[in-house]
Amino acid sequence: MRDTCHVWYTPPCLRPFSQEECIMSDTYRRYRAIKQAIMQFYHPRPTGHREKHFTTLVAPICGLVGGKKAHLSSIADHAPSNGADQESVIARFRRWLKHSGHTHESWFVPVAKALLATLAQQPLQLVMDGSVVGRGCLALMVSVVYHGRALPLAWVVDSAIINRRGAESAENNIICAIRSGERSADSFPSASSASLR
């Protein structure tokens, strides 16, 4: 039992925070805010194993926002870890990314639909971008522009794009991405006008 009558004991609420405690409290504060914001897009609310998967999904988003880099090591350093070492956190994120049950329809489409419905009060401006992302891969992304920032809606990463038929292959993938978007056109709000740049 601690002696709380002596001057040398400072209750935790009066103790100055160390820099590490402040960073962790910022991480968990950011994590809670992101989790609450994203949770509102899922109806019904995830429960059981799906809730655990949702928690794992929010952690790398928190790390990505905090670290401002897309490397798993940087994401793991800025994600809530409950004291786990960096390699354990990276392994957890890799397992989530490789899980065959995690599809864009189950995790990303609800957020994209809610985002587009919110932005549908004004004309939508969509942009397409192709970027080399490493290991000879090219990412093709469709984003909606909001206050000068591109918010990603859909993307495809393909290693077959960069080859001797690079331009032809890229065109085919863009056409396929647009056709798949036409098949899921119900995710775009009909009340707004959209322009593609």
Instruction: Kindly report, residue by residue over 127-161, the tens digit of the pLDDT.
Output: 888 888 777 788 888 888 888 888 888 777 877 54
Residue length of the chain: 197
User: Which class would CATH give 106-196?
Assistant: alpha beta
Instruction: Kindly report, residue by residue over 89-122, the tens digit of the pLDDT.
Output: 999 999 998 999 888 788 888 888 888 888 888 8
Q: What pLDDT shows up at residue 75?
A: 92
Lowest mean pLDDT among 4-8, 129-133, 192-196: 4-8
Q: What pLDDT shows up at residue 56?
A: 92
Torsion angle of C-alpha atoms 150, 154, 159, 160, degrees rounded to 10: -120
Domain boundaries, the chain: 19-102, 106-196
Q: What pLDDT shows up at residue 51?
A: 92
* Backbone dihedral angles phi then psi of residue 120, each to the nearest 5 degrees: -70, -10
* Backbone dihedral angles phi then psi of residue 68, each to the nearest 5 degrees: 60, 25
Q: What pLDDT shows up at residue 30?
A: 93
**pTM higher than 0.75, yes or no?**
no
Lowest mean pLDDT among 18-32, 62-76, 77-91, 95-109: 18-32
Instruction: Kindly report, residue by residue over 26-35, the tens digit of the pLDDT.
Output: 899 999 999 9
For residue 49, pLDDT beyond 70: yes
- For residue 158, which amino acid is it? D
Q: What pLDDT shows up at residue 179?
A: 55
Q: Do β-strands 194-196 and 137-146 pair in parallel, antiparallel, or remain unpaired?
A: unpaired
